[in-house]
Structure 1
Amino acid sequence: MSLIVRPVSGRTEADAFIRLPAALQAAGEPWSVPLFADSRRIFDPGFNAALAEWDVPRFLAWRNGRPVGRIAASLPRGGGERGGFGFLALERDPAVLRALLHAAASWLAGRGATRLRGPVSFTINHEIGLLVEGGALPMPRMPRNPAWLPPMLDEAGLEREMDVLACTLDVAREAHRARFSRLLRRWEGRRDLVIRRLDTTRLAQEVALVRDIFNDAWAENWGALPVSAAEARMMAKLLRPMLISGTVLFAEWKGEPIGLASLIPNIEPAAAGLGGRLLPFGWARLLRALAGGARSARLPMLGIRRAWRGTPVSAHAMGALLSEAIGWAERRRWAEVEVSWILQHNAPMLQAMARLPAPVSGRWRLWGAALPGRFPATSD
């Protein structure tokens, strides 16, 4: 049985790449299965303008004419020292993993990259990591994978680089709002701090503000990459349906936007069992979830501009954002809110989560390796 890996070529192979996780899930493995339509849009330059700034070649592993694994590499156009690998899915076979890694690593090394990191799909600002612990509450853009895959990456010679965490709040048990309300009443600056919602009538401008705050607040984080204007335009397209019941909150101090938080409904339970397909009735299930039928939510962004860190303004802005986010979840009847992801060494954020209380509920891992790599091409 010969195993070969080759770049995706043509519409049929592109479709096989998109559908492979669904085929693996149907065979009994717990892979994330994004909607086929969403996955196609990621690789559509007409929808995802960020593809003008990145090269994202896709590879399929084939055995006896059948796809058995997939991977994508990613590198900024113009090159860079660090490249990524992601969109990883495969049958349980170390040879398939090594062959996929070899293909991605060889492509990256051939373009001057000296290190690879992943899984990232296709930058660290999007879906990242492999689930290694917990994660019982499936959430949008928080991947799921078989338990055997992370050890297989260890055995393939990759080095563990970073874990990212999810913390989950039981809304009925939260202790934050009452405690913060007492603190806020005693603070002389409370009248100058305002929390407002994103204005959907000015979506392009508001998304640009999200980008501006994000690029500042997250700039010093491990692995940080700025969100480009092209990515922000894609974000605006993806964000609009989530705002039917979700929201983005801005913290303003004396009229200046200094922080943000976002809440999106958890549509994963509605998507479960669809096998990636919207037709014939999947769209109706998802619309109900987006319009208020979800029972949980994810908080993917919570941050304050760096200039305000360590000040009373920052502490109160963070507390106010959390209070408003919890209130929004309560009004939407979301029983749980997952705050994700959080870097494993972000002690201040983890302490804030403990006070909510929102204990750690899931852990995802990223790996890295020097290039040209230690993943010999294999055939069997």
Structure 2
Amino acid sequence: MSTDITVRPVTGKAELKTFVDIAYRLNADTPHWVPPLRSDVFELLNHDKNPFYEHATVQLMIAWRGDEPVGRISAHFDHLALEQPAEQGMGPGTGNWGMMDAADESVMHALIAAAEDWLRDQNMTRVIAPMSLSVWDEPGLLTKGHDHAPMIMMGHHKADYEGWIERAGYDEVKKLLTYEVPVEDGFPRLINRIVASGERNERIEIRPVDMSKFDEEATLILSILNQAWSKNWGFVPITDREVQYIKGKLKAVIYPPVNLIAYYDGEPAAFMLCLPDVNEALIDMKGSLLPFGWAKLLWKLKRKNWGGGRVPLMGVLPEHQNSRLASQLAFMMIETIRSWGVETMGAKRAEVGWILDDNQGMVAIADAIEGTINRQYSVYEKTL
């Protein structure tokens, strides 16, 4: 570790601004990095606005070389994650770090060491990282797919970070995969037959989200999500306050025809969300809505043609998982999204994920619709 590097906790608004700005400065020349809106980053870090802080303890840190900020990291632990079964990835004694950016490897190692020291002081015994901040935000480090820009709600990191983190003593514990899915020419015949069979089945109903009842619809979707993902690796439940917070975030980017709820025998059974790739609009805005970025963003949100979209979330209630019905509902919703996107929005590409690499059911669905892995995010662990 270079002796001229010091790592200090963030104190005050000026240092918080420095913490946020570091990412824009260090990634200015990173190919395909999409600058997030600064307002969104500040809100993510705002204890009064982000309900994550109601069940998490977070310490932001900046690395300095003299008077120059040369890196950043968040060290944190989620009290709800500590209550989860250890075999599901989190559990007692598990802390995290994330939001890391560093000018070079010595800075990265100094940041990680400082985060580990802080976590030890909080009685944590292992690290799962990176988590920026929670598993529901941007988990994992990009380790494959640096040759293209991420879609909405996905991170992008310098290729060098993989080696830097592994040389700090971290081992990969889980892969999170995203799949590029062909959309223009439709899916294989077998999938089309499965979809057609489902459409003839009177016990199945697939309908779009009703925006006139958005509050109720979003509550239903997030309830299914909590149940559907409850046994997944890394799961941490979404709280009631987070449900309310997420609703407000989703409403602006929801297109009802591609955000769907599936029913079986009149009861909710599954859902699938598809979001337009807002990153198409953000990539040239440099993280700011000023002076005219807000107008550009609104125009692109409302325009009729999107190059692509992403399915970030889907869920099937536990009683239907690992069944033919689960696959059929997934194929039916994916085909509904695909056909509407191509015919109405002129979609050229789509992405599904992230998907856990050992989620055999979802991997099989992605393979069946001829998806190909286009990005991989690696999650690491280390014993403290």
Tell which deviates more after alignment, 230-239 or 135-144: 135-144
Q: Does 1:19 align with 2:21?
A: yes
Question: In 1, are the aligned partners of 2:257 and 2:337 still within 8 Å (CA)?
Answer: no
Report the CA distance between 1:196 and its aligned residue.
1.4
How many positions carry a matched residue from both structures?
369
* DSSP-derived class of the 2:27 partner: helix
| 1:226 alignment partner, SS class | coil
Which of 58, 63, 66 is residue 64 of structure 1 equivalent to?
Answer: 66
Whether contact under 8 Å (1:184, 1:190) holds in the other structure is no
Contact between 2:184 and 2:347, CA under 8 Å: does it hold in 1?
no
**2:254 aligned with 1:252:** no
Q: CA-to-partner distance for each residue in 1:303-329, whole Å, 9 max, x for gaps? A: 211111233332321221112121232
Mapping 1:265-344, distance limit 5 Å:
265-292=276-303, 293-330=305-342, 331-344=344-357
Code of the residue aligned with 1:299 in structure 2: it is V
CA distance in 1 between counterparts of 2:32 and 2:192 reads 43
Deviation at 1:170, TM superposition (A): 2.2
Give the direction of change, closer, same or farther, for the CA distance of 1:173–1:76 in structure 2 (3 Å limit). Answer: same
CA deviation string 1:312-356 (max 9, x = no partner): 332321221112121232222221110010111223322221221
Matched, 1:153 2:165: yes
Change (3 A) 1:300 1:188: closer
In the TM superposition, residue 185 of structure 1 has moved relative to its aligned partner by: 4.6
> Any conservation in 2 of the 1:249–1:262 contact (CA below 8 Å)?
yes
Note if contact 2:5-2:107 (Cα within 8 Å) is conserved in structure 1.
Answer: yes
1:1-380, aligned counterparts within 5 Å?
2-27=4-29, 31-77=33-79, 80-91=92-103, 93-134=104-145, 136-176=148-188, 179-186=190-197, 190-243=201-254, 247-292=258-303, 293-330=305-342, 331-371=344-384
Contact 2:34 2:149 in 1 (8 A): no
Residue aligning to 1:374? none
Tell me, in whole angstroms, the C-alpha distance in 1 between the residues paired with 2:149 and 2:367: 19
Distance 1:250 1:76 in 2: 30
The one-letter code of the counterpart of 2:112 is: L
Task: Please tell me whether the aligned partners of residues 266 and 289 of structure 1 are also in contact (alpha carbons under 8 angstroms).
Answer: no
For 1:251 and 1:166, locate their aligned partners in 2 and report how far apart those are by CA, in whole Å. 23
Deviation at 1:193, TM superposition (A): 0.7
2:37 partner amino acid: L
Name the amino acid aligned to 1:357: E
Identity of aligned residues (%): 27
**What is the alpha-carbon distance in structure 1 between the residues aligned to residue 254 and residue 346 of structure 2?**
16
- Indicate the SS of the match to 1:191: coil
CA contact (8 A) 2:175 2:379 kept: yes
Give distance in 2, aligned partners of 1:258 and 1:187.
14
Q: 1:27 to 1:362 in 2, by over 3 A?
A: closer
Distance in 2 (CA, whole Å) between partners of 1:58 and 1:327 is: 44
The equivalent residue for 1:377 is: none
- CA, structure 1 residues 8+304, in 2 after alignment: closer, same or farther (shift >3 Å)? same
Give the C-alpha shift of residue 69 in structure 1. Answer: 0.5
What is the CA distance between 1:265 and its match in structure 2? 0.7
**AA aligned opposite 1:295:** G
Cα deviation code 1:44-64 (max 9, x no counterpart): 233212211211211111112
Over residues 198-241 of structure 1, what are the superposed CA-to-partner deviations in whole Å (9 max), with x where a residue is unaligned? 22222222222122111111111111111111221221121011
What is the TM-score normalised by the length of structure 2? Answer: 0.90
| Aligned-residue CA RMSD (Å) | 2.1
Range with greater deviation from structure 2 (332-341 or 77-86): 77-86
The TM-score with structure 1 as length reference comes to: 0.91
**Distance in 2 of aligned mates of 1:32 and 1:182:** 39
- The alpha-carbon deviation at position 278 of structure 1 amounts to 1.1
Indicate how the Cα distance of structure 1 residues 158 and 311 shifts in structure 2: closer, same or farther if over 3 A, else same. Answer: closer
SS in 2 for 1:334: coil
